[in-house]
Every structure is written in C-alpha cells, then in structure tokens.
C-alpha cells in the first residue's frame, strides 16, 4: 500500500547521484529537484543512490543534507531538510535514530515513537532496528529504555517488553488462548489493573494474528471495542500508551490517522509528528491511513497537509502522501 510513485524505468543510481549533486550546488538548493528524485524512489533505490553518491563524490549524501540543515537552521527550510534526511535513511536506520531521540524525552509524542516502532513494525524490521541501534549507539534499545530518566514505571516495564519482543509472524491462531486472554484483559480493565503482568505479557509476546482474535473475542464478550474500554476506564499515561499499542498492533492506520490529525489541528503544526508519520508510513500503509483519515475526519490528508504547511516542506510531504484516489 505504498504511495511512492516510482518512474518506469527509473534512472540509474549514478544518474540520480549526479542530478542530486547539481541540485545541491549553491546557497539555495533546488528543493523541487531533490523532491522529484528522492521522493520517487524506493528504500532500496535510495540506498543505491547513497552508495553511488559516496563513490562519485567521496562524501556521504546525508552529510551534505546535514550541512544544508545547519546553514538553514533558523530559516523556513529547516523542516524540509530534517524530513529529507529521515526519508533518505534506510528505514531501520531511521527508526533507530528516532528511538534514540525519543528515549530522552518526557513528551508523550516522543514516547509514542517507541510504541510505533515496536508494535507497528514487522518482527524482522524491529530486529533490524535493534541491530543497527546497537551499532550506532553502542548499547541496546532495551538498555536505553530501561535506564531512561524520562520514563516512569509501570510504563517503562511495558516499553522494555515491547522493544524486546520478537513475535510469530504467521496467521495461525489458537481460539482457546484468545478466549482465555480476552477474559484476562476484561478483568484487568474492569479492575483498572492494566499494568499487571498478564496484560504486559499478552501485549508484548502474542502475534498480531493472535491479538486480533483476542480483541475480536473481547468485543464479542463485552459488546465494546477493547481500545474504547481502555480509553474510557483508564485516563492515565499508561492507559493512553496501551491503547496506542493495541491500535499499532492490529490496526495501525487508526493510530497514524489520529497522529496526523493531532499534528495539524489548531494553531501551528507539530512538524516532528507530521514528518515522522508520513516519512515512516509512505512505503507501508499510507493508502489505508488516508482512507481511515477520510472516514473519521471527513477530510483528505492531502488537503489538510497542504493547508497547514508551506514551500518545499509541503511539496515533499505531498509527494510522499500521494494523490487522493
């Protein structure tokens, strides 16, 4: 469900590297050219372009972007360069950097990064993020989450379990387990004991297929969606993060549509949130996110993004979001 429109046939990686070099010349880079190249290439193609650029010009492409960012940091183009750097990174490298920044922040908008990366990712992608995090920062994600002064128990315990998980990725489901664990979750929600060991175990170890079956069983037993019950019965930070985990595990489009809406609602824009969602989901499920956004908010993502951003930053986000069908 990618919204990245790749030309057919695309230029070679060396040709793209040469075009990027021209676009980066001078004080004012050609942002339209940068968007036209990089936002029309897959992750594998962008990786090939980075290799070609480093071979041809003996410097990393991302360093060129960071230099431009440092020169323009007080100007309107800062959000463009930050978004372009994230987009050009390998997806696992990008998520590792986002997590490393997030573990230092108390803001819930950054804590959500840990939920998104651990729950909305495939097991293999999360494993790749953990490996590159270890390489980049000389410690594990689990270590940094467990030692983060910005996080408090019991949330910290759940986050450590989530980032440490490696779930079964198949479709096999055990309905007896689903019935038992739906009942356990119901009791925990009713007694407002969401931080209990069983809840954390279920959320952090079960496959996504198994969890979908469990949450469906919960709905059949209780007559209500589990996310709604968590939201209505537990207003704490832990409850909000647990609800986000439930959505990211079984219907991530709901979570990401909500984050986009929050990032552009009201006066001003939460650019970091908006960039994170669009850059990280463009190659995965942006089409479903747009459908969910339209169904829930009766507006198009493209329309709301265009109305709340400007210049090269807007053009880049809209290129990644893609046209409305």
Residue list, annotated binding site for Ca(2+): 26, 264, 268, 306, 308-309
Angle between helix 208-222 and helix 197-205 axes, rounded to 10 deg: 130
Q: Could you tell me which of 165, 174, 178 has the C-alpha nearest to residue 118?
A: 165
* Closest C-alpha among 237, 238, 219, 220 to residue 229: 219
CA angle 98-7-16, nearest 5°? 65
State how far the alpha carbon of 136 is from the alpha carbons of 79, 98, 142, 292, in Å. 24, 12, 14, 35
Answer whether the bond into residue 259 is a cis peptide, omega within 30°.
Answer: no
Please report, for residues 62, 86, 272, the alpha-carbon distance to residue 82 in angstroms, rounded to integers and kept in the order given.
10, 6, 9
CB 197 within 8 A of CB 181: no
Q: Which residues contact 83 (CB under 8 A, 6 or more apart)?
A: 275, 278, 279, 313, 316, 317
Helix axes 226-233, 208-222, angle to 10 degrees: 70
Residue ranges for the binding site?
Answer: 26, 264, 268, 306, 308-309
């Amino acid at each position: 469900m990618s919204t990245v429109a790749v030309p057919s046939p695309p230029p070679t990686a060396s040709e793209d590297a040469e075009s990027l070099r021209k676009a980066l010349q001078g004080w004012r880079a050609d942002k339209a050219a940068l968007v036209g190249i990089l936002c029309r290439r897959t992750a594998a193609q962008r990786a090939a372009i980075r290799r070609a650029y480093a071979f041809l010009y003996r410097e990393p492409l991302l360093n060129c972007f960071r230099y431009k960012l440092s020169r323009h940091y007080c100007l309107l183009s800062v959000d463009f360069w930050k978004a372009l750097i994230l987009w050009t990174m390998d997806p696992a490298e990008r998520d590792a950097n986002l997590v490393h920044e997030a573990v230092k922040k108390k803001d819930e908008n950054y804590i959500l990064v840990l939920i998104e990366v651990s729950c909305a990712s495939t097991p293999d992608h999360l494993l790749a993020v953990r490996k590159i995090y270890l390489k980049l920062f000389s410690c594990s994600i689990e270590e940094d989450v467990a030692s983060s002064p910005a996080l408090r128990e019991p949330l910290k315990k759940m986050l450590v379990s989530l980032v440490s998980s490696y779930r079964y990725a198949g479709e096999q489901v055990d309905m007896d387990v689903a019935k038992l664990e739906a009942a356990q979750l119901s009791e925990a929600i009713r007694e407002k004991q969401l931080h209990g060991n069983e809840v954390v175990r279920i959320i952090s170890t079960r496959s996504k297929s198994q969890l979908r079956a469990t949450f469906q069983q919960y709905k059949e037993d209780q007559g209500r969606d589990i996310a709604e019950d968590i939201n209505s019965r537990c207003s704490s930070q832990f409850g909000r993060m647990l609800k986000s985990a439930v959505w990211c595990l079984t219907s991530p489009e709901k979570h990401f549509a909500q984050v986009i809406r929050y990032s552009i609602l009201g006066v001003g824009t939460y650019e970091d949130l908006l960039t994170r969602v669009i850059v990280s989901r463009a190659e995965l499920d942006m089409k479903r996110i747009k459908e969910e956004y339209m169904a829930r908010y009766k507006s198009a993502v493209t329309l709301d993004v265009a109305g709340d951003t400007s210049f090269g930053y807007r053009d880049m986000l809209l290129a990644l979001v893609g046209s409305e069908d």
